[in-house]
Structures are given as C-alpha cells and as structure tokens.
Structure 1
Amino acid sequence: MSYFEIKTPRGTVFTVNGKGGKVTAEIEWNPGFGPSESSKFDRKQRFVDQECIRRMAPETPRRTGVLIKSATLGTVIGSGEINQITPYARRQYYEHKEKSRWFERMKNRHKDSILKGAEKIE
C-alpha cells in the first residue's frame, strides 16, 4: 500500500514569438515516471520510518519496554508518521527528567546516516 503518489502533468505546448520568428516546443512526460518514482519514494519512506523507530529505542525511557513497543504497534510503516500509543507517551516525551524528547535527540544523532541509507534505495 502506497501512501504517496507522484503524478505527472499532461504534456504542454509552449509557443514564443521572438525577433527571429515563432518557436514552438512540446514537453511530454514519461508515463512511467510517476508510478516508478512513487514506488521508490514509498520504499525510502518505509526505510526511514523503520530506522527512526529502531534508533529511537535506546533513547526512549524504559521501565517495562511498553513505551518502546508502542512505537512499533502504533505506527503504520511507510506513512511518514511515528505514533507511540501509550496513554502516558506525551507526558513522558515532554516531561521526563533525563530522557525527554527522545525522537529529537535520535534525529540529531542519526539524521545524516538515515538519509544516506534512504538515498541508497532504488
């Protein structure tokens, strides 16, 4: 299931009048471009979602491990949105003394390597 779809516009004809006369150009899109790029983007988004969840785990406060597991259970991989579904996740994220804002800390540490991994996906 793809969450994102890249659409290509219809072909366009441009005509420009200049000193030397009239010039006409037609731009035609490759019909396979949209589906191909949508599929590639979808694979990259799934990779980013999975890597963020994996790399967030060590940064997440851990008493029983439920908060960490809630990211996997509450997230639809490929949607581009990570959800932790425990009732106390929001409070922990903003108010935990040592480990608050674990996604932001993970992103600051691992953003470049996650993006490099996504770039390698074809």
Structure 2
Amino acid sequence: MAKGKKQFKIETPRGTVYTQASKGGRVTARLEWNEGFAPDKEKGFANAQEFVDSECIRWMNPETPRRTGVLIKSATLGTVIGSGEINQIAPYARRQYYEHKEKSYWFERMKNRHKESILKGAAKYVQSH
C-alpha cells in the first residue's frame, strides 16, 4: 500500500557560547544557527525525493516488460511521488519482476544504468536551498 509523502525534519541545536581565557583576557564566541536553515533544507530534501521517485519511474519504463502497458502504468498509479517508495499495483507485478525471462529485476537494471544521473539531479535540489 502506498504511503504519503516522506516528511523531513531537521532540528538545529540551540545557540552556544564558548569562552576561552588567555593571558591577554577572555575571548567569547557565540554560535547561532540561521533560522531559515532547517525549513530550506527540509524543502530541498522533499523536492529531491520527488525528483528521485519521478526519475526512477521514468527510467524504469523502457526496462519494464510490456504486453499491454498496464505494468508500466501500475508504477505511476501505485506510487505517491515523494514517498520514497515505488509501488507497482498490477496483481502480477511481483511475479514478473522476479520471474520474467528477459526483463526481470527492471528496477535494479534501471538503477545500475542511471543511478549517477539521478543522484546528481537530486543533489541540485538540496544544494539550491
């Protein structure tokens, strides 16, 4: 069963004050977190997850066995983009995935071919925020 979008929660610690005594006196440094850091990164990670899910489905398309196209559409219909989980809801999807003569393990084959480009694209969403 498909679940909802993945929720990212980034917590930043409270600000910290460091004091160091020396011969010339005391030095105090205050570390404060940017208030916008957590919301920006959470949004960036959520966008990156949506990108990864969409790209995996897109790149799986040519790797997936097709007779009528239902198996391919079942990935789109069964997946909540952003959940981090791809679900193919066709009743025969599991059997085809493991037992198809020419095109079994289509997700693994897609991942081996396109992993680097998917990761590179996802990184852009996190770095831009």
**TM-score above 0.5:** yes
Letter aligned with residue 52 of structure 1: C
Instruction: State the match for 1:59 in structure 2.
Output: 63
State whether structure 2 residue 94 is matched by structure 1 residue 102. Answer: no
Match of 1:71?
Answer: 75
Percent of paired sites with the same residue? 74
Q: CA RMSD in A?
A: 2.3
CA distance in 2, matches of 1:45, 1:75: 13
Cα drift, residue 33 of structure 1: 0.4
For residues 43-96 of structure 1, give each alpha carbon's deviation from its aligned partner in whole angstroms, at most 9, with x where no partner exists. 111111101100001001111111111111111111111111112111111111
1:84 and 2:71 correspond? no
Q: Which stretches in structure 2 are left out of the alignment for 5+ residues? A: none
Give 1:50's aligned residue: 54
SS in 2 for 1:81: coil
Contact 2:20–2:28 under 8 Å retained in 1: yes
The one-character-per-residue Cα deviations of 1:14-67 (angstroms, maximum 9, x if unpaired) are 56789x998765432111100001111111111111011000010011111111
Determine helix, strand or coil for the equivalent of 1:120. helix
Q: Distance in 2 between matches of 1:83 and 1:13?
A: 48
1:96 to 1:45, Cα distance in 2 relative to 1, 3 A:
same
1:9-20 matches, cutoff 5 A: 9-14=13-18
What's 2:41 paired with? Answer: 37
Residue ranges of structure 1 left out of the alignment (5+ in a row): none
